[in-house]
Amino acid sequence: MGKSKKRIWWESCFSYNHITILSSLSMNTIILTLLIILVLSIGYAIFLLQKKQIWGSFSEKILLLERDKTHLIEGKIRLEAELERKSLELGELKGEIKKISKERDEIGGKYETILQEKTELQSMRKYLEKELTETKDILARHTAEEIRKQKEFEEWIHKLANAEKALEDERQRIRREDEKEQTSALEEQTRIWNDHEQMVLARLREACQKPSFGFTLYDNTTLPNIFTKLKPDAVIEFLSQYVVFDAKKSKSIRTYIPDQVKSTARKYKDIPEIYRTVFFIVPANELQELKTLSFIEEWFTFFIISPESIEPILASLRKITEYDTIADFDPQDRETIVNLIASYDRHISLQNATNILFTRESIGLMNSQEGLHPEIRKEIMNKKENMRTKKLNESELKKIAQSMGEQERQVEEILSPKITVGKREIEEVQEIIQ
């Protein structure tokens, strides 16, 4: 089919060229014919002149010749004009032929390109058809595999749904059992708590009713008017204030008590009528689990005691109430207390003054770095930024603060020869505090 189109195209081009050539040949033939006619006319005119010379007069022959000459010149002009017109048409035809030849060459080149592209497209089509066939085979296999996996997935989903239902049923059962156990444990805990609270109130009430104590007891149902929002278990009147006794019990007593200390101190701190010593009463067996039995929070002192300690504490409070003023104290006790407070005051004042003087000297010493070279100061700053802030050992601090014997031992170690504290430095400090 392709060869037939190409053949037809070449035949069409050949026919067109043939017609163009024939047109060109016809034009030349016409021009040549006209020239021959012109020559024959001139020859015929000469023949007539010769004949007239024979048969007519000379003048007549001249006139005839002039007339014929005129006709011939006019015919020549017409023929030349026609020739020029035909030449122009011939030039235009040649230009058209060149244009058509150029277009034919372009069409031929495009045709060759199209043929090449067609060949490439046919090759590509064959390749794509092959790829399509292979893809269809792969797709068919994948579809079959997908159907198989879908069936397996649906089976697994069904099994999983059954397993989830069974698991949820088991969870519900366990949850119900846990809720039941928690409810029972909570009820038991509440019962134990109530028993502990009632036991503490009973002991307080019994102790306060003894003639040797004679304290007025208020439980959480008969509290004074200052306890509008606060509900301690029991309070007693003491030196125009109220001492709080609160029963405490919890599974996690180690964390429960510190939390209760902080929350209670926040509640009581703005009520001056509450005595600054508060007693938390816990069961004796839980008391053994606590490492610390006293806390200080918001200027309140909290003591953690057992129910057995209630009477000794009430006895101590009763002993304190026997002294209305400090003037009622034994003279020796009064002097001892006054001297102790005066010594505390003097020591704290001297300690503050010493700290202030040494702080001023330390600031001056730090400011002396300004005289150092900038590079050295920069290295010092970099070193300081990378140094970690030393934290005090809280347990060691507490150990030293609570024991005078430990403080004396630590001071002895500082003053021993093993430590490079010279006699001169000790004398300077003594001069400062004196």
Residue 238 has phi, psi (to 5 degrees) of -155, 110
Please state the domain extents for the chain. 2-132, 209-322, 332-387, 392-434
CA distances from 429 to 53, 57, 359 (A): 176, 178, 14
Q: d(Cα 135, Cα 128) in Å, to the nearest integer?
A: 10
Residue 359 pLDDT greater than 60, yes or no: yes
pLDDT band at 424 (very low <50, low <70, confident <90, very high): low
pLDDT band at 170 (very low <50, low <70, confident <90, very high): confident
Question: Which of 321, 115, 310, 85 shows the shortest CA–CA distance to 203?
Answer: 310
Q: d(Cα 148, Cα 166) in Å, to the nearest integer?
A: 27
Q: What is the pLDDT of residues 319-349, one digit of tens each?
A: 877 765 555 556 666 666 666 666 665 666 5
Q: Which residues contact 278 (CB under 8 A, 6 or more apart)?
A: 243, 244, 246, 264, 268, 300, 301, 302, 303
Q: d(Cα 323, Cα 329) in Å, to the nearest integer?
A: 7
Higher pLDDT, 374 or 389: 374
Q: What is the pLDDT of residues 74-124, one digit of tens each?
A: 888 888 888 888 888 888 888 888 888 888 888 878 888 888 888 888 888
Exposure string over 118-139, b if 16+ CB within 10 A, otherwise e: eeeeeeeeeeeeeeeeeeeeee
Q: What is the mean pLDDT of residues 50-72?
A: 70
Q: What is the pLDDT of residue 4?
A: 56
**DSSP string spanning 247-274?**
E---TTHHHHHHHHHHHHHHHHTT-TTE
Q: What is the pLDDT of residue 261?
A: 92
3-state secondary structure 278-320: EEEECCHHHHCCCCCCEEEECCEEEEEECHHHHHHHHHHHHHH
Residue pair 302/278 in contact by the 8 Å Cβ criterion: yes
Question: Which of 241, 249, 245, 217 shows the shortest CA–CA distance to 233?
Answer: 245
What is the overall mean pLDDT for the chain? 77
Q: What percent of the chain has pLDDT over 70?
A: 73
Comparing 2-16, 310-324, 401-415, the range with the smallest average pLDDT is: 2-16
Residue 13 pLDDT greater than 60, yes or no: no
Q: Does the pTM of the predicted model rise above 0.75?
A: no
Q: d(Cα 358, Cα 433) in Å, to the nearest integer?
A: 12
Q: d(Cα 40, Cα 64) in Å, to the nearest integer?
A: 17
Higher pLDDT, 150 or 330: 150
Exposure string over 166-176, b if 16+ CB within 10 A, otherwise e: eeeeeeeeeee
* Distance between first and last Cα of the chain: 130
Residue pair 207/310 in contact by the 8 Å Cβ criterion: yes
Residue 394 pLDDT greater than 80, yes or no: no
Burial of 302 (0-12, 13-18, 19+ CB in 10 A): buried
Residue 373 pLDDT greater than 90, yes or no: no
Token reading at 102: 């150029």
Residue 255 pLDDT greater than 80, yes or no: yes
Q: What is the pLDDT of residues 176-218, one digit of tens each?
A: 887 777 666 556 666 667 788 888 888 888 888 888 888 888 8
Q: What is the pLDDT of residue 298?
A: 85
Q: What is the pLDDT of residue 2?
A: 47
Q: d(Cα 241, Cα 258) in Å, to the nearest integer?
A: 24
Residue pair 212/314 in contact by the 8 Å Cβ criterion: no
Q: What is the mean pLDDT of residues 258-278?
A: 89
DSSP 391: P
**What are all long-range contacts of 67-70, with beta carbons under 8 Å and residues at least 24 apart?**
69/45
Q: What is the mean pLDDT of residues 38-62?
A: 68
Burial of 75 (0-12, 13-18, 19+ CB in 10 A): middle
